[in-house]
Structure 1
């Protein structure tokens, strides 16, 4: 019972937790980014413009974050840098695109946002390409 309330962090558990967080947050986000990539490649540029940059630019930025950066996060390549576009995208989704919506509509964006902030603060962990390359990010 004592282990249940233990506050010491196990390095192995921490690194496995970071791996699981990277794979799940990145993989789940791909399900949002891939359809946007398909839309971009087909030339269908209908997309929201929450920042006033134009729908085309907004779509390209969303695809970059949700598809390409998600892959980098899953692999653990430049994780701290890769989560920055994802943090921006999820902040825009939660606080601007769904800003007037009830909590239930912005909840998913907030969950992703928290996950990416945790990865920004902690890096990719031991089980990552960054670690293999000796970058320890």
Structure 2
């Protein structure tokens, strides 16, 4: 049991669970009957900005919990945290930007390190290698991206 895989599991599940506490209220706001109170960005409407944020924060976090398509799942989350830190809170003090920057840091680690051994990504990659004819695991560079 590698310590790095346990650390990636803790980071992935922890950050996904914490982000869901931000995403689920936004999801409820999206489906409520009251007018959307959300900042519009890049010329998009408040509603469309909210939809994109919900997709990233809720569905990206669900993928992270499972460790499924981890590197792809963190890309919209990275973008969302960049927008939050650099646009939404641009005039605010660092203390207001700090949560977005902390999430961003963890998402960047997961983007570069991958999901680790304890993930659906790893199981799928392992299964794909077993199905391929007579190919050595060490010669397959695609496995390295999930470890």
Task: Please point out which of 77, 81, 85 is paired with 2:76.
Answer: 85
Deviations 1:38-57 (A, max 9, x none): 11122442211132211011
1:133 is paired with a residue whose SS is helix
Show the counterpart of 2:3.
13
List structure 1 runs of 4+ shifted beyond 6 angstroms: none
1:19 is paired with a residue whose SS is helix
Show the counterpart of 2:132.
none
The structure that has the greater radius of gyration is: 2
User: Do residues 132 (structure 1) and 119 (structure 2) align?
Assistant: no
Q: What TM-score does the superposition give when structure 2 sets the normalisation length?
A: 0.83
5 Å matches for 1:56-75? 56-75=47-66
Deviations 1:63-85 (A, max 9, x none): 00010101101110000000000
Task: Please point out which of 12, 24, 29 is paired with 1:22.
Answer: 12
Q: RMSD of the TM alignment (CA)?
A: 1.3
1:27 is paired with a residue whose SS is helix
Number of residue pairs the alignment of both structures matches: 127
Q: For structure 1, which runs of at least 5 residues remain unmatched after alignment?
A: 1-10
